[in-house]
Amino acid sequence: MVEMVVFILMGAVALAGALGVVMARNPVYGAMGLMATLFALAVFYVVHLAHFVAVVQVIVYAGAVITLFLFVIMFVGVDRAESLTEKLSLQRPAALIILVGVVVLTGALVVTDRFDWVISTAEPAQVVGSIEEIGENLISVGSSDVRQASRWLLPFEATSLLLVVAAVGAISLAFYRPRRSEEETGTSDSDTGSNR
């Protein structure tokens, strides 16, 4: 009962925060929305009695990462005069396609009730204590029951893929220069550095 109430409340906060990240005109509000989402996730962990994960979530994300975001935003700033028109024209269609794909796939999972496609429905191994056991539960293939052993392998790999995508995106954004400014300033390849 309490879990349900907390889940609904914090779920709403998480979604509102996520929407804020995407929709906010002002990057500071976007950063605060991200923090709200991450904090709501931390509350979910607490509901699942994973206090350690919750606290680490708050320390790492809310404490360090978003503080750095704010620091950068406040120092570098986003000039209000800077044009906010989109430079990646394929972004929105691509996002739409991915959204539809995710919704269809999740819906298919729910409708067919085949959650064993993504996670094993088998009971997890006994109480996980040592680091070796956690690692074995996560990625080991040595166990006799293959599905049991690779229970968390797919979510784990999906997370790492997400991180890689984010890193690549950040790098490409940092090196991305609109073609127009290059013509205006007439810079040569030598002083724009390694971005070509």
Partner 1 sequence: MDWIDLGLIALRVLVVFGMLQVVTILLVWFERKIVADMQNRIGPDRAGPWGILQTLADGVKLLFKEQVTPRKVELGLYLAAPVLAVVPAFLMFMVIPFGRPVRINLAGEDRLIPLQGADLNVGLLYVLAMSSIAVYAVVLAGWSSGSKYPLLGGVRATAQAISYEAAMGLSLVPVILFTGSVRLSEIVAYQSGSLTFLGRSFDFLPAWNLFILAPSFLIFFIAAVAETNRAPFDLVEAEQEIVGGFHTEYSGLRFALFFLAEYINIFTMSALAVTLFLGGWSGPTWDDSLPLLVSAVLPTVWFLAKVTLFLFLYVWLRATLPRLRYDQLMNLGWKRLIPASLGWLFLIGGALAVRQFGLPWG
Residues at the site binding partner 1, with contacts judged by CB under 8 A: 26, 28-29, 32, 35, 51-52, 55-56, 58-59, 62-64, 67-68, 70-71, 74-75
User: Shortest approach of partner 1 to residue 181 CB, angstroms?
Assistant: 28
User: Shortest approach of partner 1 to residue 100 CB, angstroms?
Assistant: 34
Separation between Cα atoms, residue 120 and residue 25, nearest integer Å = 42
Closer CB to partner 1, 6 or 139, in the complex: 6
User: Shortest approach of partner 1 to residue 102 CB, angstroms?
Assistant: 31
Closer CB to partner 1, 77 or 178, in the complex: 77
Measuring CA to CA, which residue among 25, 23, 60 is closest to residue 41?
Answer: 60
> Half-sphere exposure (CA, 13 Å, Cβ side) for 132?
1
Separation between Cα atoms, residue 174 and residue 165, nearest integer Å = 14
Can you tell me whether residue 83 is helix, strand or coil? coil
User: Shortest approach of partner 1 to residue 32 CB, angstroms?
Assistant: 7
Closer CB to partner 1, 28 or 128, in the complex: 28
Token representation of residue 149? 């052993």
User: Shortest approach of partner 1 to residue 9 CB, angstroms?
Assistant: 16
DSSP 115-169: GGGTS--SPPPS---SHHHHHHHHH---SSSHHHHTTTHHHHHHHHHHHHHHHHH
Closer CB to partner 1, 70 or 139, in the complex: 70
Expressed in angstroms, the distance from the first to the final Cα of the chain is: 57
User: Shortest approach of partner 1 to residue 92 CB, angstroms?
Assistant: 28
Can you tell me whether residue 95 is helix, strand or coil? helix
Closer CB to partner 1, 24 or 109, in the complex: 24
Closer CB to partner 1, 2 or 81, in the complex: 2
Separation between Cα atoms, residue 14 and residue 57, nearest integer Å = 14
